[in-house]
Structure 1
Amino acid sequence: MTMDHLLFLYSFLLPVVLAVEETLMDSRLATTELAWTTYPESGWEEVSGYDDSMNPIRTYQVCNVLEPNQNNWLRTDFIPRQGVLRVYVELKFSVRDCASIPNIPGSCKETFNLFYYESDSDAATATSPAWRENPYVKVDTIAPDESFSLLETGLVNTKVRSFGPLSKAGFYLAFQDLGACMSLISARVFFKKCPTTIASFAVFPETATGAEATSLVIATGTCVSNAVEVSVPLKLYCNGDGEWMVPVGSCTCMAGFEPAKRDTQCQPCSPGSFKSNQGQGSCSPCPPNSRASSPASGVCPCQSGFYRADTDLPDSPCTTTPSAPLNVISSVNETSVVLEWTEPRDSGGRQDVVYNVVCKKCPHGGGACARCDDNVEVSPRRLGLPERRAAARNLQAHTRYSFEIQAVNGVSAKSLTAPRYATVNITTNQAVPSAVPTVHLLKATAGTLTLSWLPPSKPNGVILDYEIKYNERGIAFSHTVTAQHSSARVEGLKKGTVYVVQVRARTVAGYGRYSSPLEFSTNLHDDPERSVQDQLPLIIGSGSAGFVVILALIVIAVICLRRQRTGSELEYSEKLQQYVSPGAKVYIDPFTYEDPNEAVHEFAREIDISCVKIEEVIGAGEFGEVCRGRLKQPGRREVTVAIKTLKAGYTERQRRDFLAEASIMGQFDHPNVIHLEGVLTRSCPVLIITEFMENGALDSFLRLNDGRFTVTQLVGMLRGIAAGMKYLSDMNYVHRDLAARNVLVNCNLVCKVSDFGLSRFLDENSSDPTYTSSLGGKIPIRWTAPEAIAFRKFTSASDVWSFGIVMWEVMSFGERPYWDMSNQDVMNAVEQDYRLPPPMDCPAVLHQLMLECWFKERNMRPRFSQIVSTLDKLLRNAASLKVVNDSHSGDLYGMGGTLPGHQRKSLDGMQDMRQQMSQTLPIRV
């Protein structure tokens, strides 16, 4: 992991900022009598007292414990709501222990009730509203942590409760005493706000909490000065405790600016430093040979005489041009020269030095040298030589040349001065003749070719002789003959054959270059018998070619006929490949069948309509109604079954897709996979019959039985689901939509995997929104692995990820994964390596198994066989399931533990989320 990557991860950490509390009413601030309304007058009594800091305050007391049937009410003045949706009440009170009061009846209490009443105006009177629970709304029954006796005084209890949502202009608080001896020392009403904060270089405004304790209020952020957006939208969630959580999007400092003041500001780079890229990095001193005279520099300009190449990075040092090459030596061989040199003394501070060779021809009588003609060949090339050696050829004989060896590097083109170079002067010796211009055919017979040619334009001496090279066309082997003059007769050739001919001249300096290759043909002999013999190879060749064409046509026809005859047999044999090895059954996709009826009849049993009795509709499916009914087949006992129906007016494609699920289910036989009884394809409507699962879908069943199962029972359910998925995985079947809603539970709490084949048709308007990928199809985002969302890579490993989400659903009793976060926010959070926290009372070993299922690298996730083995070990060793996270102990955010179970889990989940995001790094897997 690079430092830039670490800095990117740290940019998502939230600063530790406490929630803001704003007070709406505080009885401790009263300087005069409170004069709250009481009923009856003999109940609550206002007296002066002292708070726990011994400051004088106004309090209310009541102690009618000797009189039975007490119903004493106390109501505050009207409290304006000021637009908030949820308020908190902090009560300080003391209660006398009933046991310390002698001769009291059994009606003595040590608790009192807290109510509120909403109103659009301050309209309450001594008689209105009526002094009873309705129209007053009860918040809670308040019990002390400690009560006092005559020997123990001054024991003050503090309790905090909240209520909402509020909708009217204001409200009253009311306190009901049913026979306690107590003192209400103070009452403070306040609401919570998430304070203005800066996270990931974005400013988020002060935001009031939502109407419910589990509400998440979205706040939109803006980048701080000198910062730019990296990912959008910029959002933070304000939870019910007035604390920020789950940042979405981020900003980063612009080029020329660096993070400051604990990553809350972007300050400019000071003169003499720079920062070339936007991001978390700090400013750096200017590289060598550069300087920045102004602040906020994104690059340091080079000093005079120094440059950066176009490919150089902004943080690269500035460099200059190299000095001249050293120690140039030459080796002349007639009209060619080999040049060698050593590297310059100064490379200019760069490693990309290359060399140019400039050839100049100098006149004998003196004067300025001129550039060589293009016919002078410099190898390997004239410009950009990485090596320190070159050869020049095709020079003129007895001529003086000057060669400049230039050293250049990546910034030489930036410099206004010419490259520095070293010079070497040479004089050539005798040169070979130039090439023979062209060759002409004078006469051709059956065995000879008579040729002539012009002498070279530059003989460079006396021509001693000519060499004629010839070979048959298409044959590399050649022959040579020598001629003293510019013509020759080549004999001993084959009749009617094409020859390739080239000629070159020779002087005392050696051979010149060959002429361009030309083709000449000898004549055929006039003897008919010999003519046929000569043409026989051509005739045979033509016949062979025709035979090859005919043979190819025959082969193509045979292949086509074989395909027509055996196509169905091949296709059928592919479908029968259910066993790749003995005992290893492999799933077959029914969509490979051209006829859906063929697939369903191969894998599902057809049931007679007289055996089925529909009793009642229990739900709606993708293609029609789902019913409960009875199945009585000959020789078998009657059983309760679930019946899926195909609605009237279906299309042929809907019928095929409907029966595809039966074709899939019919291939499976496992106690933790839903069992297919059979199909009715010849009836109207078309029916699919499966075993009946009394408790329905697992997610709704858990929500209805929140908190009623032990951890061991929940792990047993997970073990069954894992065993079913292991079976499917061993058959090479990928479910794609494993979720608690697609697991069914029977009356014995046995969980069975269901919903095969229909997940690809999820409804966009369903209660579980899905994300449409660029490749088409609907994906349940909250349950789907990242690679399946991004690249449609559905494998058993992506099913393992989904199983980890199912584990979280089961251990949270059907809680919705990621709560009310949007699908886009879920994808962003998972991409930022955020993982779901452990549910309330979840054993640590189970959450660790969840995290292993959520490894980003799919090859690192456990296989279902390993998951089954792990769950078996946990069931055998129950002590390992008793170690849970301690983040859920004690009072839930001062709520007294009185919220419903699903709200408590949501609060705890958000607390865990907040704790994870405030740690050094998010939970990473």
Structure 2
Amino acid sequence: CKLLWLLPKTVMDTRTATAELGWISFPANGWEEVSGYDENLNTIRTYQVCNVFEPSQNNWLLTTYVDRRAAQRIYVEIRFTVRDCASIPSVLGSCKETFNLYYLETERTLSEGIKGVEYWANAPFLKVDTIAADESFSQVDFGGRLMKVNTEVRSFGPLSKGKGFHLAFQDLGACMSLLAVRVFYKKCPSVVQNFALFPETLTGAESTSLVIARGSCIANAEEVDVPIKLYCNGDGEWMVPIGSCSCKAGYEPDNGNVCRACPQGTFKSFQGVGLCQQCPLNSRSTIEAATVCGCRSGFYRGDMDKPEDVCTSVPSAPRNVVSVVNQTSVQLEWHPPRDIGYRDDLSYNVVCRRCHSSGRRACQPCDDGVAFVSGKQGLKDTKVEISKLRAHTSYTFEIQAVNGVSNKSPYPAQQLSINITTNQAAPSVVPIMHQVSSTSRSFSLSWPPPEQPNGIILDYEIRYFDKNSSVVQSKTPSVVLEGLKLGTGYVVQVRARTVAGYGGYSKEMLFQTLTDDEYKSELGQQLSLIAGSLVAGVCIVSLVAIAIILTFPTLSEGHSSPGVKIYIDPFTYEDPNEAVREFAKEIDPSCVKIEEVIGSGEFGEVYRGRLKPVGKKEILVAIKTLKVGYSERQRRDFLSEASIMGQFDQPNIIRLEGVVTKSRPTMIITEFMENGALDSFLRQNDGQFPVIQLVGMLRGIASGMRYLAEMSYVHRDLAARNILVNSNLVCKVSDFGLSRYLEEDTSDPTYTSSLGGKIPVRWTAPEAIAYRKFTSASDVWSYGIVTWEVMSFGERPYWDMSNQDVINAIEQDFRLPAPMDCPVVLHQLMLDCWQKDRNARPKFPDIVSMLDKMIRNPASLKAGTNNVAPGPPHHALLDRAGPDLSSVSSVEDWLAALKMTQYRDSFLGSGFTSLPLVTQMTDEGILYLIFLCYCRDLQRIGVSLAGHQKKILTSAQSMRHNVDDQSPTESV
């Protein structure tokens, strides 16, 4: 089938012609039309010429007019025979074994009158090629004549000046026969792919051209991803599908290119590749293409139910309610309904009404003071306790059984009612007492009234005792207990009384009188506190003054570092072309040889080629070209990358060889990297490299980024796709365009809009996404993602999550897990690069140093180990030996030993004021919490960095083990 699709469209074919072709020849004794036979003895019309015995031959043959039918590139297949000049005796002229092919674009056919010598001497034809025979024949071969037919195909274009063209054949002295000429063009056929219809599309003007064809969804399909398009290549083949359609809700795919309506009794509720399903229980569909099956009478779907869920009904009423009245409280219990309506979200509502004792027993809703211990709506248990009712009052309680479809039914709730009458009740318990003041012989107390007085409070009874019990009464909710002992503690209780009697005593509370010495001591402490506050205030003012004095000279000093080369933005030049001339070497185009297309860039094709500078050895190069029809701004932006690259000279940065700007096409020429982009190279060699070799690649990338950081250049698009690999597996940073093109529009799904620009979300630090704060620290974040890509052999970061989901996950402190068999030290390096605080991330020089240590100590790179020598403190890498804690005696000392004094105030302010309290952090499941990096205590006090959490918890665990081994005295 594919071969049939690729059959070209023929516009002229003389292979089967038997009538005269009627082509124009010049001169008259040149080309001659004759009938002959092909190699299969079929009759054909041919043109022959053989004037080899006459000098200075120039014989022309012009075909009839050929309509190109809007094709931009034409192919010509020529079948011919040529006689070997060596086999022709006594040749007087100059014998040839070749002929020339030309074409002429025109709106109409050329007239018969173009037979003059002058016209043919200056023929306005465009040459396609000089065609030579692969095989020639001699007049006699092996006892008889043997025909050797040659077939050659040539193409030409682009065609745009007329509706058609003529072909011309020029003979300069050959003995040959033109057996057949077939003229055709190529096209991509109409096709249905991904449920989208793409029209028949002509190929482009060049053999390497890709022509975009826009697709439209087939009947009953809708877009999934847009735009929907395919590319038609020069061979008439479809390639690179982008976007797709899928069957609408109510339709299912049939044989991959038709969306068939769901038959009656089935449905499909979503757009996509799924199939139609049978209607769920208690539902039906009476039409085709149903997106949901309607519920049968008496059945419903809840607001949160899905179309594929069964239809359900409301529950029946609860059964067998029982009440227990206790003064002004009641407890109700009941049995569940017999029918719960096919659902598992059954709950109960309790409706309370207070009824009067009139003949009609008028009832009204209970007031807000009535308390339902477990709530009065959405109850899951079949019991409820109700308190704070009025004494000697009649109530009606309705118990309703409801579920997720009760609000859909005209009879929303089946209910069961019960009537009860409360009893007389004493006051409730006084909730709490407060000490107002205290002396050496007395203290003053107060308390709030009972929450449920159940009548008028007549008085309060206060009971207090140390060894002997005493009782006093008070008409008000306060009392002064006098005549007490010095420095003695008293247990005090209180209860209220109404006409119904006393309520219960409050809980026991201890209050203590003061001795004279304690009173004086307390006064002295208050005075000391006041004096200390004054002194502290003076000290703070002094420290601030000293800090200002010490800081002032620093503020006046500059921060420049003489001798360090700094990157210069080419767009700071008034004329950006001047930057190109300053930073990029102009190359003579005659030194450049283009060999083949290896890709396409934003501005044009990318080629592999060779560069042969004068007096130097030829080298392989990559050549970026600027496509035809560019604007001046596009040319400036294209060359700006060369202006950037030309400033860099480092083994792990792609090397610029030069530019071609004084002729067309405009080119940027760089060193050639045989293995291409790092991400695709790793995917092609999944699992083929040992960890030590991957670390070597990462070290090269970090070295290149260290150089860029020292140059004060921010890359902004560091990703494995922008790292190139040569034949020696050396990795080099490339693609320096994004720093200027972030504001430009692009259809690449890798980049998504954020605050008006385009950003590679999966590789970009959160502050760069949210606030466009691009710094070397944001490049470090990207380096962490590159490290993950390398260790996962080219896996896509965050897999198939959408860009917005990635942004949300990062904001919620989600970080990528370690790839399979990834050493702990490398994953820890990734986590350090992904610190939310950009100032806490490592610098590129630190990363290079750390990778060097790993390479020198290969044992540290075994999966599951982490015994590499620790890096700088902000790396948060765990050192198994840990800091020396032998002299630690306080929380401040401990944090100083861990080099985490920034958390001092957070620890002390959250109550962790001593080392024994620290050792109890997340006492249960501490190892589990370490691995999850979700440490409740640590997050509460502000330690949000995963590496810092792990280090603190490991140290706390170590201290706890030391404490367990010591005696009680040593522990204290």
- Name the TM tier (shorter chain): 0.5 to 0.7
Structure number with the bigger relative contact order (C-alpha 8 A, sep ≥ 6) is 1
Kept in 2: contact 1:289–1:319 (CA 8 A): yes
Residue 558 of structure 1 aligns to a residue whose secondary structure is helix
Alpha-carbon spacing, 1:663–1:34, altered in 2? closer, same or farther (3 Å) = closer
Measured after TM superposition, the shift of residue 566 of structure 1 is: 7.1
1:754-833 equivalences under 5 Å are 762=740, 787-788=763-764, 793-795=781-783, 798=786
Residue 726 in 1 paired to residue 702 in 2?
A: no
Residue 550 in 1 paired to residue 514 in 2?
A: no
Alpha-carbon spacing, 1:335–1:762, altered in 2? closer, same or farther (3 Å) = closer
Task: Provide the rounded CA distance (Å) in 2 between the counterparts of 1:621 and 1:197.
Answer: 49
Deviates more, 1:113-122 or 1:297-306: 113-122
Residue 382 in 1 paired to residue 376 in 2?
A: yes
Task: Provide the rounded CA distance (Å) in 1 between the counterparts of 2:431 and 2:724.
Answer: 90
Alignment: residue pair count: 680
Measured after TM superposition, the shift of residue 772 of structure 1 is: 9.1
Residue 539 of structure 2 aligns to a residue whose secondary structure is helix
Residue 357 in 1 paired to residue 350 in 2?
A: yes
Paired residue for 1:7?
none
Residue 239 in 1 paired to residue 199 in 2?
A: no
Residue 153 of structure 2 aligns to a residue whose secondary structure is strand
Measured after TM superposition, the shift of residue 383 of structure 1 is: 1.0
Task: Provide the rounded CA distance (Å) in 2 between the counterparts of 1:730 and 1:198.
Answer: 49
Task: Provide the rounded CA distance (Å) in 1 between the counterparts of 2:233 and 2:384.
Answer: 76
1:37-186 equivalences under 5 Å are 37-50=24-37, 56-63=43-50, 72-95=59-82, 111-123=98-110, 125-126=114-115, 127=117, 129-130=119-120, 135-144=125-134, 156-169=149-162, 170-177=164-171, 181-186=175-180
Paired residue for 1:253?
247
Give the letter for the 1:278 counterpart: Q
Task: Provide the rounded CA distance (Å) in 2 between the counterparts of 1:453 and 1:260.
Answer: 77
Determine which of 195, 199, 211 is the counterpart of 2:193. Answer: 199
Determine which of 249, 273, 276 is the counterpart of 1:280. Answer: 273
Kept in 2: contact 1:17–1:197 (CA 8 A): no
Measured after TM superposition, the shift of residue 674 of structure 1 is: 8.0
Kept in 2: contact 1:461–1:507 (CA 8 A): yes
Using structure 2 for the length normalisation, give the TM-score: 0.55
Task: Provide the rounded CA distance (Å) in 2 between the counterparts of 1:368 and 1:160.
Answer: 107
Measured after TM superposition, the shift of residue 320 of structure 1 is: 1.0
Kept in 2: contact 1:257–1:275 (CA 8 A): yes
Residue 211 in 1 paired to residue 205 in 2?
A: yes
Measured after TM superposition, the shift of residue 729 of structure 1 is: 1.7
Measured after TM superposition, the shift of residue 277 of structure 1 is: 2.3
Residue 165 of structure 2 aligns to a residue whose secondary structure is strand
Paired residue for 2:305?
312
Paired residue for 2:839?
none
Paired residue for 1:586?
none
Alpha-carbon spacing, 1:144–1:327, altered in 2? closer, same or farther (3 Å) = farther
Kept in 1: contact 2:719–2:782 (CA 8 A): no
Task: Provide the rounded CA distance (Å) in 2 between the counterparts of 1:231 and 1:400.
Answer: 67
Measured after TM superposition, the shift of residue 409 of structure 1 is: 0.9
Determine which of 535, 551, 564 is the counterpart of 1:600. Answer: 564
Q: Deviations over 1:210-259 (max 9, x none)?
A: 21111222233333333333333333322222222223333333333333
Residue 24 of structure 1 aligns to a residue whose secondary structure is strand
Paired residue for 1:491?
482
Unpaired segments ≥5 residues, structure 2: 568-576, 587-615, 617-641, 662-666, 675-684, 686-692, 709-714, 770-777, 795-799, 804-829, 832-846, 856-972
Alpha-carbon spacing, 1:765–1:415, altered in 2? closer, same or farther (3 Å) = closer
Q: Deviations over 1:388-411 (max 9, x none)?
A: 332122345666655443221111
Alpha-carbon spacing, 1:333–1:75, altered in 2? closer, same or farther (3 Å) = same
Measured after TM superposition, the shift of residue 268 of structure 1 is: 3.3
Kept in 2: contact 1:699–1:741 (CA 8 A): no
Give the letter for the 1:596 counterpart: S
Measured after TM superposition, the shift of residue 385 of structure 1 is: 0.9
Residue 512 in 1 paired to residue 507 in 2?
A: no
Paired residue for 1:561?
546
Task: Provide the rounded CA distance (Å) in 1 between the counterparts of 2:526 and 2:412.
Answer: 66
Residue 596 of structure 1 aligns to a residue whose secondary structure is coil
Residue 309 of structure 2 aligns to a residue whose secondary structure is coil
Measured after TM superposition, the shift of residue 130 of structure 1 is: 2.3
Task: Provide the rounded CA distance (Å) in 1 between the counterparts of 2:519 and 2:99.
Answer: 127
Give the letter for the 1:353 counterpart: L
1:537-686 equivalences under 5 Å are 537-538=522-523, 540-541=525-526, 543-548=528-533, 550-555=535-540, 557-558=542-543, 561-562=546-547, 565=550, 595-598=559-562, 600=564, 621=579, 624=582, 672=651
Alpha-carbon spacing, 1:769–1:377, altered in 2? closer, same or farther (3 Å) = closer
Kept in 1: contact 2:719–2:786 (CA 8 A): no
Task: Provide the rounded CA distance (Å) in 2 between the counterparts of 1:438 and 1:105.
Answer: 133
Alpha-carbon spacing, 1:374–1:554, altered in 2? closer, same or farther (3 Å) = same
Give the letter for the 2:349 counterpart: N
Alpha-carbon spacing, 1:369–1:94, altered in 2? closer, same or farther (3 Å) = farther
Residue 236 of structure 1 aligns to a residue whose secondary structure is strand
Kept in 1: contact 2:37–2:44 (CA 8 A): yes
Deviates more, 1:733-742 or 1:309-318: 733-742
Using structure 1 for the length normalisation, give the TM-score: 0.58
Residue 186 of structure 1 aligns to a residue whose secondary structure is strand
Residue 289 of structure 2 aligns to a residue whose secondary structure is coil
Kept in 2: contact 1:788–1:798 (CA 8 A): no
Q: Deviations over 1:657-712 (max 9, x none)?
A: x99999997xx7xxx3589xxxxxxxxxxxxxxx998999997266999xxxxxxx
1:744-759 equivalences under 5 Å are none
Paired residue for 2:385?
391
Task: Provide the rounded CA distance (Å) in 1 between the counterparts of 2:378 and 2:68.
Answer: 81
Determine which of 314, 320, 325 is the counterpart of 1:321. Answer: 314
Measured after TM superposition, the shift of residue 312 of structure 1 is: 1.5
% identical aligned pairs: 40
Determine which of 288, 291, 300 is the counterpart of 2:284. Answer: 291
Paired residue for 1:700?
669
Task: Provide the rounded CA distance (Å) in 2 between the counterparts of 1:267 and 1:566.
Answer: 77
Task: Provide the rounded CA distance (Å) in 1 between the counterparts of 2:428 and 2:225.
Answer: 70
Give the letter for the 1:287 counterpart: P
Give the letter for the 1:595 counterpart: H
Task: Provide the rounded CA distance (Å) in 1 between the counterparts of 2:561 and 2:431.
Answer: 82
Measured after TM superposition, the shift of residue 544 of structure 1 is: 0.6
Paired residue for 1:33?
20
Task: Provide the rounded CA distance (Å) in 2 between the counterparts of 1:27 and 1:804.
Answer: 59
Paired residue for 1:823?
none
Kept in 2: contact 1:437–1:457 (CA 8 A): no
Unpaired segments ≥5 residues, structure 1: 1-13, 472-476, 573-592, 605-618, 629-639, 641-657, 676-690, 706-714, 808-827, 832-857, 870-925
Task: Provide the rounded CA distance (Å) in 1 between the counterparts of 2:302 and 2:207.
Answer: 60
Task: Provide the rounded CA distance (Å) in 2 between the counterparts of 1:212 and 1:98.
Answer: 36
Q: Deviations over 1:266-321 (max 9, x none)?
A: 34333332222223333322222222223333222222111111111222221111
Residue 408 in 1 paired to residue 394 in 2?
A: no
Kept in 1: contact 2:694–2:790 (CA 8 A): no
Alpha-carbon spacing, 1:163–1:404, altered in 2? closer, same or farther (3 Å) = same
Task: Provide the rounded CA distance (Å) in 1 between the counterparts of 2:263 and 2:578.
Answer: 68
Computed over aligned residues only, the root mean square deviation of the Cα atoms, in angstroms, reads 6.5
Q: Deviations over 1:322-349 (max 9, x none)?
A: 2233454444444433333443332211
